[in-house]
Amino acid sequence: MTELQHRPTALLVMEERRRDDVYPEAVLKEIGTLVDLREPLTRERLAEDPAALEGVEILLSGWGAPVLDSVLLGHATDLRAVLVAAGSVRPLTTPEFWARELPIVSAAAANAVPVAEFTLAQVLLGLKQVHRISREIRERKAYPPDPRVAGAYRSRVGLLGLGEIGALVASHLRGFDVEVLASDPVVDSARAAELGVRLVGLDELFATCPVVSLHAPLLPETEGLVNGGLVARMGIGATLINTARGAVVDEPSVIPVLGERPDLTAILDVTWPEPPAPDSPLYTLPNVVLTPHLAGALGAERARMGELVAGELRRFVLGQPLQHAVAPDRAHLRA
């Protein structure tokens, strides 16, 4: 490694519960070769003592990041960069932060990996209608004589959203003999072509794809976007997958459709509220599969985000271009 002329002072602020997963010993050791790392804090401890940011040049974080408002920034006069081992930087950024024009790094690319893997698995299961057929076997106590399923041969797969995760799912699907359709208002046809995807409207996406997977960020314009009318247009035996945000789905209008259409399957890794209320039909509908954020980084998978941050930290202190900096005009599009 090039000898550093100056070792910046860094502080790690995030929740304790997942800190060791995100920043395991090997990652902290690498970080320690690059900066003078202070004792880590939680955002609650930092709120009690915001002066802890004085002299800090690099803020490291993850889940449970502090909100960088005028109070904290007033103490962080030496701050030069923020590196976040999490997908979205929306929870910690404020207008005051963006006004400072500081670089901020997101580990969305690392977090996208397990979500895309989970999605790919569910897409392939959905094309075979595994969940539906297994339900029918239990109910009838008999095997169907000749199941009619789409399969992964020249079938369509629909993606709602082509952000970090949606694009990675599209990339994975290029290894299969399927046609990938997508709906995303901020992606142009040239970018879609790079991903091997054809852009279509929402109606066509839901009406013609045996599997539709949601990857849209939660924005005012996407809240409740997937409603009962769209889900009702899905073909016999279709599968809906949501690993994005629960509120993208208008559950009050979708739940009755799922009740009336036992042939459909909904794989919901996220809901709104989360978890569902105790009396929610989502718990009892046989064609709903609930999972508690299993798609996201869990356990050892979380270290991938810390490793990304360590790599970006190395580039920053050596004066090299950052690879995962978030542009201010794109930050709101991250889930």
Chain segment 92-119, per-residue pLDDT in tens: 999 999 999 999 999 999 999 999 999 9
Tell me the two tokens of residue 234: 């899905």
Q: Is 221 marked active-site?
A: no
Domain housing 74: 9-102+299-333
Is residue 253 a part of any domain in this protein?
Answer: yes
**Domain at 29, CATH number:** 3.40.50.720
Helix (H, G, I), strand (E, B), or coil: what is residue 176?
Answer: coil
Residue 333 identity: L
* Residues 214 and 195 placed together within one structural domain of the fold: yes
Q: Above pLDDT 70, what percent of the chain?
A: 97
* 313 belongs to a structural domain: yes
**In the chain, helix, strand, coil percent, each to 5?**
40, 15, 45
The number of folded domains in the chain is 2
Write the pLDDT tens digit of every residue in 196-216.
999 999 999 999 999 999 999
Same domain? For 176 and 252 the reply is yes
Q: Is residue 208 part of a domain?
A: yes
Output the six-digit token pair for 327: 């542009």
Q: Which member of 245, 302, 304, 324 is catalytic?
A: 245
Based on the residue annotation, tell me whether 39 is a catalytic residue of this protein.
no
| Other beta carbons within 10 Å of 115 | 26
Examine residue 264 and state whether it is found in any structural domain, yes or no. yes
Residues 92 and 234 occupy one common structural domain = no
Per-residue model confidence as pLDDT tens digits over 24-63: 999 999 999 999 999 999 999 999 999 999 999 999 999 9
* Residue 107 located in a structural domain: no
The two structure tokens encoding residue 94: 């404020």
Q: What is the dihedral of CA 206, 184, 82, 313, to 10 degrees?
A: 90
Q: Which of 17, 154, 174, 293 is catalytic?
A: 293
Q: What is the pTM of this model?
A: 0.93
Structure confidence by residue, pLDDT tens digits, 261-312: 999 999 999 999 999 999 999 999 999 999 999 999 999 999 999 999 999 9
Catalytic residue among 221, 274, 330, 332: 274
Residues 39, 177, single domain; the answer is no
Instruction: Answer yes or no: 274 catalytic.
Output: yes
Residues 262 and 319 in one domain: no
